[in-house]
A and B are shown apart, each in its own frame.
Chain A
Amino acid sequence: MENNLLEVDKLQVAFRTDKGEVVSVDEVTFQLKQGETIGIVGESGCGKSVTSLSIMRLLGRTGLIKKGAISFNGRELTQLEEAQMREIRGNEISMIFQEPMTSLNPVFSIGNQMLELIHLHMKMSKSEARAYAIEMLKKVGIPRAEQIIDEYPHKLSGGMRQRVMIAMALSCKPRLLIADEPTTALDVTIQAQILELMKKLRQESQTAIMIISHDLGIIAEMADKVLVMYAGQVVEEADVFTLFDDPKHPYTVGLMESIPHLEHDSQQKLFSIPGTVPHLHAMPKGCRFHQRCQHATEQCVTQKPPLLTIQGSNGHRVRCWLYQEEEQVVSGYGQNEVIA
């Protein structure tokens, strides 16, 4: 079997706040191979962005990785010094953020910002680096790249800025690209362009991609396997086809039913999940979804469900007591997952 490029094991991330420490991501485990794309889907506050920021170790002063391990290409990221981490960031792992408007520095030209990165990691001469930057801009479909490279970010449209961000992220040929809601701030037609571009570049470079989105449509377009997150935990994990054909967790099912489909004839009521996501300071005991779940039982209220493996599936796992029987049959394996 191929080696995993990235292994995240029982990650727990907490933030220090005025009201004490708050655990925002809990027990997140997944693996990613070279060239594979994993999608992380969930609503705001579910911890999907924090998961990606902890891989980059960009949690700021208040955030810390409390437990768990992040192994990237054989190195343990949680143990690295800041200086070592800086060599990995932008070089081996790079990231595209949601806001192309705010993630470029407005007082430096596009070229200036790209060259800084290329210069830092690729050890090229000035003229080589410039030629390379222009080549990268052309690759992401920026017209008149020779002129655009000397422009400032405000001259570019949102779609163009996101292309520049992608060009920057890919210029050091990273092994892993983290795309945190890369198209959320863009119009649908521009979103389609950016997704096409990412697919094309993925094919050429075999980069592993972690794509984070609240939009199941984007996940279905891009991902090979999917993590569904709710209130800081992974509630379901499966390959993309299994997840969409046979979702198990009541939250995943609810999420899928609440999107208005374009291809369906629907004049009836939309399905909606009642209530709202629980607050981080007041996580319910037991299953974190039980207050909004129509199948909730006594057990769900009091006991935390573990991530159970569905019998006979290829790594389809779900954090729900409804699938308990199937768990008992697959003895042994699932037991390791039980972390109370």
Chain B
Amino acid sequence: MRKPPDKQTPLLVVEKLKKYYPIKKGIISRTVGHVKAVDGIDFHIYPGETLALVGESGCGKSTTGRAIVHLEPPTEGRVIFAGQDMAALQGAELRKARTDLQIIFQDPYSSLNPRKRIGDLLAEPLLAHKLVPKSEVSQKVDEILEIVGLTKYHKSRYPHEFSGGQRQRIGIARALILQPKLIVCDEPVSALDVSIQAQVLNLLKDLQKEFQLTYLFIAHGLGAVKYISDRIAIMYLGKIVELAQTQEIFKSPRHPYTQALLHAYPIPNPHLRNRERIVMEGDVPNPANPPKGCRFHTRCPFAKEICREQAPDLTKTAHAVACHFPLV
């Protein structure tokens, strides 16, 4: 077991966060409804901790990440980073907060400007935030390249000359060069090959130890998450349905959706291919028109009358679950 992270004050607090996108129709673009991408979620992350946000496509996990780094203003709710409400920050204070909050994107192929050399790409954040004098920028870039496992000779190359794994290292370097406190990792390994995924995950883990980083790790599967996270939050249709310590989630999942996710994961062991498992039916409902009551009831094998009527709240316990009939 790793040592429990510092429990005193959370570095990041997300309160009742909502993000709705308007659906517009007609020539005067009337708003006819809202896609409720994130619909009221609460969580916090302690310094040095890794919280994973897991869910299927369209559950709102990436939107949450983007709202946290202030790429998109939330519709409702607050993001409090190091005691400050992000929405209230302006000018120099906001710029400072932005250096502390960085993001690594999923697709290493489209997140680097193809017309810029790696050296310039990495120097850009330093120059934009005027963190070091111009004369020292080059040296700083050399250092960071070394840290993420590349060399200073890569500086004059263009992004297309790198493989997916190397590009993701550049993405990490670009986030890391500002010496952030928290990094939102938005599916950083999903686009990479298996053997390269392990390299990048190991790198992220080493960097966390070395620089006391805090991660919000967004993923659609539970594989990588088990290895990197301290706690896991499972999202479904804009809501958190379960939040607990990593071991707890894997050993005793309490929400039927979490269990279904675990069952759905193909196990690389042919001897287990005929194991008993629940295969969930149907698709994720449309987030513009989520089902009444518990959002999972349309696919839940255990749904009862109350699930169709009343939405369950996330419990306030250490192993939080939002279900009327949690599994034991």
Binding site for B on A (CB under 8 A): 43-44, 157, 159-160, 187-193, 195-196, 214-221, 223, 240-241, 244, 254-256, 258-263, 265-267, 269-274, 276-277
| Contact B198 A270, beta carbon cutoff 8 Å | yes
| Contact A192 B195, beta carbon cutoff 8 Å | no
- Complex interface: chain B residues within 8 A of A261 (CB): 267-268
| Contact A240 B220, beta carbon cutoff 8 Å | no
- Complex interface: chain B residues within 8 A of A187 (CB): 56-57, 220, 284
| Contact A43 B202, beta carbon cutoff 8 Å | no
| Contact B193 A244, beta carbon cutoff 8 Å | no
Query: Which applies to chain B's interface (DSSP): helix, strand, loop or mixed?
Result: helix
- Complex interface: chain A residues within 8 A of B165 (CB): 276
- Complex interface: chain A residues within 8 A of B196 (CB): 43, 272, 276
**Chain B 242-277 near chain A by CB (<8 Å), digits 1 or 0:** 000001001000000000111111111111110001
CB distance from B93 to the nearest CB of A (A): 38
Q: Once bound together, how far apart are the Cα atoms of A214 and B194, in whole Å?
A: 8
CB distance from A43 to the nearest CB of B (A): 4
Among residues of B, the one whose C-beta sits closest to the C-beta of A264 is: B226
Among residues of A, the one whose C-beta sits closest to the C-beta of B57 is: A187
- Complex interface: chain A residues within 8 A of B205 (CB): 269
Given contacts A191-B266, A260-B223, A262-B265, contact A43 B281 (CB under 8 A): no
CB distance from A257 to the nearest CB of B (A): 8
| Cβ 8 A contact of B227, one of A188, A195, A240, A270 | A270
Given contacts A240-B270, A270-B227, contact A192 B166 (CB under 8 A): no
Is B2 among interface residues, defined by CB-CB distance under 8 A?
A: yes
For chain B, which range describes its interface: under 10, 10 to 19, 20 to 34, or 35 or more residues? 35 or more
Q: Once bound together, how far apart are the Cα atoms of A231 and B77, in whole Å?
A: 50
Is B216 among interface residues, defined by CB-CB distance under 8 A?
A: no
| Contact A193 B281, beta carbon cutoff 8 Å | yes
Q: Once bound together, how far apart are the Cα atoms of A228 and B269, in whole Å?
A: 15
- Complex interface: chain A residues within 8 A of B202 (CB): 269-270, 272
| Contact B269 A189, beta carbon cutoff 8 Å | no
Is B280 among interface residues, defined by CB-CB distance under 8 A?
A: yes
- Complex interface: chain A residues within 8 A of B164 (CB): 44
CB distance from B232 to the nearest CB of A (A): 12
Show 24 residue pairs from A and B whose CB-CB distance is below 8 angstroms, ordered by the A residue.
A187-B56, A187-B284, A188-B265, A189-B264, A189-B280, A193-B279, A214-B193, A215-B194, A217-B266, A220-B270, A223-B270, A255-B195, A256-B268, A260-B201, A260-B226, A262-B250, A262-B267, A267-B1, A270-B202, A271-B198, A273-B199, A276-B165, A276-B166, A276-B196
| Contact B260 A189, beta carbon cutoff 8 Å | yes
Q: Once bound together, how far apart are the Cα atoms of A241 and B269, in whole Å?
A: 8
- Complex interface: chain A residues within 8 A of B269 (CB): 220, 244, 263
| Contact B199 A262, beta carbon cutoff 8 Å | no
| Contact A188 B195, beta carbon cutoff 8 Å | no
| Contact A160 B264, beta carbon cutoff 8 Å | no
| Contact A244 B270, beta carbon cutoff 8 Å | yes
Is B283 among interface residues, defined by CB-CB distance under 8 A?
A: yes
| Contact B268 A188, beta carbon cutoff 8 Å | no
Q: Which 3 A-B pairs have the closest CB atoms?
A: A217-B266, A272-B198, A192-B264
